[in-house]
Amino acid sequence: MSKMKPPTKGILFLAALMVPFVLGASAVHVGVRNGLGSGRNMTLHCRSKDTDLGSHVVSDGDEFGWNFNPNIWGTTLFYCLLDQGSVQGYAFDAYSYTRDYVRCESKCLWLVAGEGIYGMNDQTGLWEYVYPWPASST
């Protein structure tokens, strides 16, 4: 009669790999910095399907940020409405799991500038021009 062996290290390793998928991905920080210059403020209202972060006036050079854990289905989306100068009610995705889980795995930074919005790419370490202002507002 043979004895049953306990689980091997390989099975334990695979189980450990599954923990993030069961519990959700690790925490993410999103930050939106006002880089408009000349003392110009902006108003930012960010939300997800389940969480409304409220409306915030962000002074020139300051940042509004928040932390969250992406859901286990990979569908987390935070979007913001931005008002600044002639740009009013501009909507942009501040975090979209399908776009950002690699681009900015744990820290998604945005820079609002005179010509539009830049996003930091953690893979390249460079700011990318992601969202231009509508033509009628420039």
Q: How far apart are CA 36 and CA 137, in angstroms?
A: 14
Model pLDDT for residues 61-115, shown as the tens digit of each residue: 999 999 999 999 999 999 999 999 999 999 999 999 999 998 998 999 999 999 9
42 within a domain of the structure (yes/no)? yes
pLDDT-above-90 percentage for the chain = 75
User: Which domain covers residue 118, as residue numbers?
Assistant: 24-137
Is residue 100 included in any domain, yes or no? yes
- The answer to the question of residue 5 being in a domain is no
| pLDDT, tens digit, 9 for 90 and up, residues 7-34 | 555 444 444 444 444 445 589 999 999 9
Asked if residue 11 is part of any domain, the answer here is no
Query: What is the side-by-side strand order in the sheet with 52-58?
Result: 52-58, 42-47, 77-84, 87-96
Q: Quick check: is 7 in a domain?
A: no
Residue 90 within any structural domain of the chain: yes
State the chain's mean pLDDT as an integer.
Answer: 87
Identity of the amino acid at 62: D
pLDDT of residue 3 exceeding 90: no
Domain at 39, CATH number: 2.60.40
Q: Does 16 fall in a domain?
A: no
Question: What is the reported pLDDT for 62?
Answer: 98
Read off the pLDDT of each residue in 35-60 and give the average, rounded to a whole number: 97
Residue 5 pLDDT level (bands cut at 50, 70, 90): low
pLDDT digits (tens, 9 = 90+) for 102-120: 899 899 999 999 999 999 9
The answer to whether residue 6 sits within a structural domain is: no
**C-alpha gyration radius of the chain:** 20
Domain count across the chain: 1
Residue with tokens 């979007």: 79
